[in-house]
Amino acid sequence: MSDERIKILNMIAEGKISPEEGSNLLKALEPDEPPRQGAVRWLIIRVYEQGSNKVQANIRLPVRLAGKLMKFSNRFVNESDIDLEEIYAAIAQGEPGKVMEVYTDDDTRVEIYLEG
């Protein structure tokens, strides 16, 4: 059994995540289907320092896992400028490119991209 699976099972056992959430994460670890031509494979999230072009965080997630993680995180994102439904739609459409650009209250810029 892989380390990732063991970590997820431990998180369920410790009550950090629900069994349903753990099941979704375990499903995300299943082998990927062969990519369709033109399909996107990565969700990229870049966070820039306040009022600057310097990257503060650069996160690259497999789209297959990103969709499931976003569903999991959806319960924590209340009144945010990031529209998760727009990201889901962009993933479903499968076209690479910028999905959205958001500025937070403190002028931090967040860009979300899809890549093949």
* Lookup: tokens for 14: 């410790």
pLDDT at 63 over 80: yes
* Pairing label, strands 109-115, 42-48: antiparallel
Residue 90's pLDDT is 85
Q: Measuring CA to CA, which residue among 6, 41, 48 is closest to residue 25?
A: 6
114 has a pLDDT exceeding 90? yes
Averaged confidence pLDDT in the chain:
79
Cα–Cα distance for residue pair 103/79, rounded to 1 Å: 14
Is 51 within 8 Å of 109 (Cβ atoms)?
Answer: no
CB 114 within 8 A of CB 90: yes
pTM of the model: 0.59
Tens digit of pLDDT for each residue in 16-44? 988 888 888 887 777 655 545 557 888 89
